[in-house]
Amino acid sequence: MITASLPLGIEFHGVGAMLSANCYAPQKYIKRWSWEIFWLAQASWCWLILPIAGAIITIPHLWLVITSSPSTLMLYAFLMGIGYGIGGTAFNISIRYIGFSLTYSIAVGLSSILGTIVPPLVRGQAAMIIARPGSIWVIFGILAGAAGIAICGVAGRMKERNLEAASGKRGEFSLFKGLALSLVAGVFSAVYGLALEVAAPVADMAEHYGAGVWKGNVSYIFVNSGAFVTAALYSLYLARRNRTLSQLVTLPSETGSRGVGRNHLLAMLTGTLWYGQFFFYNLGHVYLGTQYAFCSWAIHMIMLVLFSNLLAIVFKEWKGSAGRTRMTIGVGIVALAAAIIMLTWGNHLGGVI
């Protein structure tokens, strides 16, 4: 029997969000690799190799758990993982048209809301959750988080405009294309949280065989491998079209294979950080207990955006922005922090110790 602990649940979610906020930092140091080769390499780690390795290490009697679980649930989780992979691809393409900040705001905000409210609605638990003590704080926390994410996105777009005005250069901005892709990304990214809910009976089976707090790691085998299929197919399609597949073993320059190993290490680091976020997400979800575990997705998403923007301030990415822009991001950060406090307080009133 796992004892719920609100402080541990929030702390583990925080660790996972911090890893996620940094997961694409290594990409800045990739040299002479096309996007599709980087995406294929990092996806191999975060969506295939590490989930399987993590489950083997932490789930006792893994094969028995898999063979004892309903095959239909594992198939559904896998198919939903394919949908999540579509969302991740749309997210990356959307950045080209409306920038990282607006894409992040729309996609993550929508994912946060849908991934939190849809599972209770599907299970018919919405009325029961609303009747619990502290539920109003949880609801306000989710809404405050969505508002904070939106404000941070607006601030990010303002910053991009400030930089464009200073440099005299304009990017390939297209609100219609970017908005459409961001909406696709938000909806399909929320599918990841739903897929974990679908795979919950498999995780319970793992707990039955002694997995304890690590039980959720078995779910990533099916969900993440589905995402890998999408990423691999799209990357291989681009690699064939652009004739870049050879970059896996040699770089397009006179250096040949020199440096390709470094790129692979950076891709592995990216994948490890990405997988790490959900390794700790599982622990946070488990320690929140059953009362308000449904808001794990919202807590993770809100913390992710909060830490991403705080790190941007620490690394002086807002330097040179107008005063109004800096004030806007400050308001967004305050809203995100308030959302975390509301969600924590709501969980406390709901009985999570």
DSSP output for 169-210: ------HHHHHHHHHHHHHHHHHHHHHHHHTHHHHHHHHHTT
The residue behind tokens 């932490």 is: 58
Phi first, then psi: give them for residue 129, nearest 5 degrees. Answer: -65, -40
Q: Which two tokens stand for residue 218?
A: 């078995």
pLDDT for 72 equals 94
Give exposure, 129-147, as e/b (b: 16+ Cβ within 10 Å): beeeebbebbbbbbebbbb
**What is the full per-residue pLDDT of the chain (353 aa) written as tens digits?**
677 788 888 899 999 989 988 887 888 888 889 989 999 999 999 999 999 999 999 999 999 999 999 999 999 999 999 998 888 888 878 877 777 666 777 787 788 888 777 777 777 777 777 777 888 888 898 888 888 888 887 887 787 777 677 666 555 667 678 778 888 888 888 888 888 888 989 999 999 999 999 999 999 999 999 999 999 999 999 999 999 999 998 887 655 557 888 999 999 999 999 999 989 998 988 888 777 777 888 888 888 888 877 877 777 777 777 888 889 888 988 998 898 888 888 877 876 65
Q: Which two tokens stand for residue 55?
A: 């489950």
Distance, CA of 347 to CA of 2 (rounded, Å) = 17
pLDDT for 206 equals 95
Q: Which two tokens stand for residue 18?
A: 């911090």
pLDDT for 253 equals 67
Roughly how many angstroms between the first and final C-alpha of the chain, as a whole number?
15
What global pTM score does this model have?
0.82
pLDDT for 256 equals 53
Residue type, 81: G
pLDDT for 293 equals 74
Running DSSP on this structure, what letter comes out for residue 45? I
The residue behind tokens 């406390």 is: 348
pLDDT for 145 equals 85
Distance, CA of 297 to CA of 117 (rounded, Å) = 10
Closest CA to 274 of 304, 248, 296, 249: 304
Contact between 150 and 105 under an 8 Å Cβ cutoff? The reply is yes
Contact between 90 and 184 under an 8 Å Cβ cutoff? The reply is yes
Q: What proportions of the chain, in percent to the nearest 5, are helix, strand and coil?
A: 80, 0, 20
